[in-house]
Amino acid sequence: MALNKIIIVTTLITLILITSNHFIVASAETVQNDYLKINVEPKRVELDINQKGTVKITITNICNESLGIYLDWIFVECGDLTHGEFSENFFYLRPNESKEIRLDLSGSKISYPKGCEDGVIRIYWGTKLNTTSWGSLDWDTVEGEAGIGIDVVRNMTIPTIIYGVIPGIIIVFIVILILIKHKKKKAAKLTAPDR
């Protein structure tokens, strides 16, 4: 009886883990401070293998000075599975000027599911913000920064579901075999004649 409960609970947990990413609704997020108003839409992007997705970033300068803006895409985890590229990552905004930027995300060719990855769009600004001669940010000119988290969901196709579920099935099977073996040993001890 206990073995049946363990099998049922393990199966339910496996199914919940496989399907949980598909019940969260995509939404937008707006961040505002004394300098910028930043809107990111959607906050959640779903990608299949070799598929591309786009995040729209609208940045508005709400202070009374022109600002240089530099955008960077950073993965908190699993950065090798999704690649991000901005349509433009360094520009200037006059007071009350807005600019819409695209972040194009593409799933890598790796054919196993990773679930949800956490990425962050980092926005740096400054009145004299500049880049170095090789195009990276000149940190001495940064006056402020903000970050907005993005969830990148790796959708599961039939091959990726099989690849992701098979290890779970193997683990459940091993646990069941161990429990059966343990139960047989216990039964053998109880039925063994005393000497």
Tens-place pLDDT, residues 43-89: 777 776 667 788 888 999 988 999 999 988 876 555 456 677 888 88
Among the residue ranges 9-13, 176-180, 182-186, the one predicted with the least confidence is 9-13
CA-to-CA distance for 156 and 161, rounded, in angstroms? 6
List, for residues 105-163, the tens digit of each pLDDT value. 876 655 444 555 667 888 898 888 888 888 788 888 888 888 888 777 766 666 656 66
* Pairwise pLDDT comparison (138 vs 12), residue with the higher score: 138
Number of H helices, E strands in the chain: 2, 10
What local confidence, expressed as pLDDT, does residue 78 receive? 52
Asked if 121 contacts 102 with a C-beta cutoff of 8 angstroms, the reply is no
Instruction: Tell whether domain 27-156 is in CATH 2.60.40.10.
Output: yes
What local confidence, expressed as pLDDT, does residue 20 receive? 46
Range from 7-11, 13-17, 28-32, 131-135 that averages highest in pLDDT:
131-135
CA-to-CA distance for 144 and 146, rounded, in angstroms? 7
What local confidence, expressed as pLDDT, does residue 92 receive? 92
The torsion defined by the Cα of 107, 88, 118 and 53, in degrees rounded to 10, comes to: -40
What local confidence, expressed as pLDDT, does residue 25 receive? 40
What local confidence, expressed as pLDDT, does residue 81 receive? 60
Average pLDDT value for residue range 89-109: 84
Residue 177, pLDDT > 50, answer yes
Domain ranges, ordered by start, for the chain: 27-156
What local confidence, expressed as pLDDT, does residue 111 receive? 45
Q: For residue 6, what are the contacts with CB-CB under 8 A and spacing of at least 6?
A: 175, 176, 179
SS3 percent helix, strand, coil of the chain, rounded to 5, is 30, 40, 30
Single-letter amino acid code for the residue at 171: I
The torsion defined by the Cα of 89, 94, 96 and 102, in degrees rounded to 10, comes to: -20
Residue 94, pLDDT > 80, answer yes
CA-to-CA distance for 92 and 2, rounded, in angstroms? 66
List, for residues 179-193, the tens digit of each pLDDT value. 888 788 777 777 766
* Core vs surface per residue 17-31: b (16+ CB within 10 A) or e: ebeebeeeeeeeeee
Residue 18, pLDDT > 60, answer no
pTM: 0.60
Read off the tokens for 128. 């004299």
Single-letter amino acid code for the residue at 169: I
- pLDDT, averaged across the chain: 75
From residue 74, give the alpha-carbon distance in Å to each of 42, 132, 143, 150, 183: 17, 19, 19, 10, 50
Q: Where are the beta strands (DSSP E) in the chain?
A: 29-32, 36-41, 44-47, 52-61, 67-75, 82-86, 90-93, 98-107, 116-126, 144-154
